[in-house]
Amino acid sequence: MPSEGKRGGPGLLRRLRDLPNDSPAKTILVALAVCLVCSAVVAGTAVLLRPLQLANQEQERQRHILEIVERLPGIAELFETAAVRQVEAQVVELATGATVRAIDPAKYDQRKAAKDPRTSVAIPPERDIAGLKRRARYATVFLVRKDDEIALIILPVHGAGYASTLYGYLALEGDANTVVALSFFEHAETPGLGAGVDDLAWRDQWQSKQVRDEAGRLRVAVAEGRVDPADPAALYQVDGLSGATRTGQGVTSLLRFWLGEDGFGPFLRKIHALRE
């Protein structure tokens, strides 16, 4: 007698096979089995591809960093001289602006840290103008030096737009107040509207804009329409994005958040003090 008979009957697969093809039970079981197999394949593929996806994201971030650096007037000539160091990454504590030597910037993941209550802080709703809810305690900044002086400061910035969260980099001159460039490397804003943040002509408008006025007030902004060059506010503003008012408002808010006291404000004050 077959061994399966000794256990009290045929196995599950044999019983399933012996069911009529038009049996509802057989149909449901076969569909369930196919779903389980497909789920396992999809999950396995996602796990296998995750390192490649992360590597591609890191390459995209690095491409935007290099793009910002290269757009600084005279930067190509600077990098050809021995007096210029390569891009230097530092992890800073946002609350104090102090450099944290104990954290390796090459291994620190600010986005992941922002999701962990142990490595992040909740942002009070009245101060959460960028729509973040939480921010990491630390952030990675990038500095370019010339003759031991900071020539360029690159800050990671992100915040809510209209249809997505925008992630990018803001580059400032060594005075910590003059914009060199603003570049977003990840977002899902509406094509033809909010996605205009990728337009080179719009991005070029940011160069030489001032972040704060002489009284120290944050003035940097995306205007609601076109900027009048004769308006004193033009020193701080770029043209609005046609048909994408909320995306423009989001860019203004995320810049003011990250340049303010809950963002890189304390760090930028330290940089500014070094020049005085």
pTM of the model: 0.76
With a cut of 80, say whether residue 247 has pLDDT above it: yes
Kindly list the domain boundaries of the chain, sorted by start residue.
53-275
Summarised one tens digit per residue, pLDDT across range 143-174 is 988 877 888 999 999 999 999 999 999 999 99
pLDDT for res 6: 47
Pairwise CA distance, residues 52 & 49, whole Å: 5
pLDDT for res 70: 67
CA 268: distance to chain centroid?
20
Helix (H) or strand (E) holding 145: strand 138-146
Structure tokens given for 78? 């600077």
Summarised one tens digit per residue, pLDDT across range 17-45 is 776 767 776 677 777 777 877 777 777 66
Residue 174 three-state SS = coil
Percent of the chain with pLDDT over 90: 58
Cβ neighbourhood burial of 42 (10 Å; 0-12, 13-18, 19+): exposed
pLDDT for res 52: 75
Over residues 50-64, mean pLDDT: 72
Over residues 189-212, mean pLDDT: 93
With a cut of 90, say whether residue 215 has pLDDT above it: yes
Summarised one tens digit per residue, pLDDT across range 106-135 is 889 999 999 999 999 999 999 999 999 999
Angle among Cα 126, 113, 144 to the nearest 5 degrees reads 95
Q: Are 173 and 154 in contact (CB under 8 A)?
A: no
Q: Please tell me the least confidently modeled range out of 25-39, 185-199, 213-227.
A: 25-39
